[in-house]
Chains A and B, each alone.
Chain A
């Protein structure tokens, strides 16, 4: 296990989340285990549909409980969250743990002033506080996150704020009850780079001041490199690599992480150097590939004997680089293999349409449609 110096504040163990749908069970997260200590930041990276957001919604109890099957254990400090009744979850949410969403425009209510929304968040957990005091607190918080003229801006509506200011206001709202755990789900994806830099600085500064544990969920490896102490890479609902950020980004032990790092261009070095993309598309969680979910796109599975990659799911186990760097790969020494071998990928991967989706649209009514469209075209 990646070690943390302090006692972890959040412990997630063997968490699985699935949604039964009309087309089958979507296994959004399978067997995920991680922990975060106070004052530390964990980065969760993954592509769309890798289950990274679902795992955090589950911790916050924000999923639709009736339609979700959850297994495993989530402990925030000493409280087990899985199976917690909604009224107790409600007390925990906002107080012990809070969330910052990607799009501040949809996460803030357009009909209420910024101040009113912060006041509400504060008074829900502190019912004895008067409205006047709560408003003073809201102004305080807005000042804390760097909104100019907080006295005046507290009465503004979300549409009167710019994108960066809205994200600041949302951070103010999530921090108003001084939560020890903060989930930031793509907190800067909707923002421009210069504003992104401001928000990342702000999060780091607030973490220093409040000593909170942060889980930052993103697809941007640059944000991870900058913010996270540890990184967890997700692919098709499972953790495929987990370890200290520097360690994982400089010595990736899973071909997927390796591929991600090779496919992003850099700001330094040879600009003409060809990018090495990962072929194909991420799999559907409705019907993930057998064995290692990454094998259809992996350029190194030919190095594993006996088609093990297509048949058997590799375990999340310590890599040759040590106990604290976990990888899910059948290769015994992946980094070495990836540095010394050229990737070999089946050309078919590229051409294949999203098979699962294609299967689904083979319903009779769609078939008639497609023949009709055919004769038109």
Chain B
């Protein structure tokens, strides 16, 4: 497999290795006998790996399965099939009880800082709970550890007895980060960690996450739809479309030489302030229509219904994710070719 090549080329064992992960949600009929009438193919055979202390960005539009991937990795959803090797242990078949000791190594940062903190608990309780559940520090030191964590994420340690409602959105996100950090995880799954925040606050949180990553050598699965933020945060990026990874590679390749038509279209759709401000305009690739339903995805290549390159073969045969050029770059398209002009400005 190509993941093996990826990790072998770096000479280190990956922290997380996902192989052919599938998650289907059954669709039940209404009525007394709830028969399964279909499957929402949220994730349909994805593979990737993350090295210790590294970041992988997972991008795609709503419904592409990127959040489901994060949740399956946390075992909040049971995977339908596939392997999830974390530190050499396959998490996929583990029961919730067997999963418990591994949970402290994988933590999740949520998108919405309002609904992800219990409004009736103080910040101290919120951050202390993981410490107490996993008994990582003696009960007497819990408060001190909570204060340390608050300081670490840039909040006043003396505010541990306040409630989430007393904090602004950006500060709440910091509380969520402190909670995730409490168990010094090896992997953080950040699911749209800044998209609910004001523009001026987003950069604060991004900088904080990067500082923490460097300090504690935390690997990140960074799930986001904002391509500029993902580019800034992640040296490696996987692009998802309708439950499949369509292109995966390093930052430079994905942004400057994207091969998959969907990656190209996605990039060209992002409005760029500085370019537009100087009067430049990029040539846009305009996709027609919307993402099809994952219950009944198109045959062959799932992107073909919106693709300008689509031919008969695209409907007949699903393009495999193939290595192109370097070992790290893989594309699933029958007509993959680089486009180096996506981000170029034409005046």
* Chain A residues proximal to chain B, CB less than 8 Å: 47-48, 148, 162-165, 192-198, 200-201, 219-226, 245-246, 249-250, 259-268, 271-272, 274-279, 281-282, 350-354, 357-358, 361, 369-371, 373-374, 376-377
Contact = CB atoms under 8 A, between A and B. Distances in A.
B154 to A, nearest CB: 5
B198 interface: yes
Contacts of A261: 273-274
B114 to A, nearest CB: 12
B272 A267 contact: yes
A354 B269 contact: no
B266 A259 contact: no
Contacts of B146: 377
Interface-centre pick from A265, A279, A354 (highest chain B CB count, 10 A): A265
B199 A222 contact: no
B214 interface: no
A377 B128 contact: yes
Contacts, number: 195
A164 B200 contact: no
Nearest to B256: A268
B270 A277 contact: no
A198 B61 CA distance: 14
A267 B266 contact: no
B100 to A, nearest CB: 23
A358 B232 contact: no
B179 interface: no
Contacts of B167: 353-354, 357
B324 interface: no
B200 A225 contact: no
21 contacts: A47-B198, A47-B199, A162-B291, A192-B291, A197-B271, A226-B276, A249-B277, A250-B278, A261-B273, A263-B202, A264-B228, A266-B273, A267-B227, A278-B200, A282-B168, A350-B204, A353-B155, A357-B168, A373-B121, A374-B124, A377-B128
Contact of A354 (B128, B166, B343): B166
A223 B198 contact: no
Contacts of B231: 265, 267, 271
Given A165-B290, A267-B270, A370-B122, A192 B277 contact: no
A353 B150 CA distance: 12
Interface in B176-226: 198-204, 206-207, 225
B62 to A, nearest CB: 6
B35 interface: no
Contacts of A377: 121-122, 124-125, 128, 143, 146, 160-161
B159 interface: yes
Nearest to A50: B198
Interface in B124-145: 124-125, 128, 143
Contact of A357 (B154, B166, B267, B275): B166
A48 B198 contact: yes
A225 B227 contact: no
Contacts of A245: 277
Q: Which of A200, A245, A259, A376 has its CB near the most chain B CB atoms (within 10 A)?
A: A376
Contacts of B286: 197-198, 201
A222 B143 CA distance: 44
B287 interface: yes
A87 B143 CA distance: 61
B207 to A, nearest CB: 6
Nearest to B234: A271
Interface of B: 61-62, 120-122, 124-125, 128, 143, 146, 154-156, 159-163, 165-171, 198-204, 206-207, 225, 227-229, 231-232, 251, 255, 265-279, 284, 286-287, 289-291, 343
Contacts of A272: 232
Contacts of B207: 274-275, 277
A199 to B, nearest CB: 11
A223 B271 contact: yes
Given A226-B276, A354-B166, A377-B125, A282 B198 contact: yes
Going nearest first, the 4 A-B pairs with the smallest beta carbon separation are A222-B271, A225-B276, A277-B203, A249-B277
A311 B68 CA distance: 51
Instruction: Pick from B121, B146, B273 the residue with the most CB of A within 10 Å.
Output: B273
B165 A361 contact: yes
Contacts of B199: 47, 219-221, 260, 263-264
Given A271-B231, A377-B122, A370 B162 contact: yes
Nearest to B228: A265
Given A193-B227, A354-B166, A264 B122 contact: no
Contacts of B122: 370, 373-374, 376-377
Contact of B161 (A47, A192, A350, A370): A370
Contact of A194 (B251, B255, B269): B269
Contacts of A374: 122, 124, 161
Nearest to B151: A351
A47 B162 CA distance: 25
B232 to A, nearest CB: 4
Nearest to B157: A351
A268 B277 CA distance: 14
Given A351-B156, A354-B167, A373-B163, A246 B278 contact: yes
B193 to A, nearest CB: 14
A376 B166 CA distance: 18
A271 B232 contact: yes
Contacts of B159: 353
B109 to A, nearest CB: 18
A361 B165 CA distance: 9
A164 B290 contact: yes
A225 B273 contact: yes
Contact of B269 (A163, A197, A371): A197
Contact of B200 (A195, A223, A249, A260): A260
Nearest to A201: B286
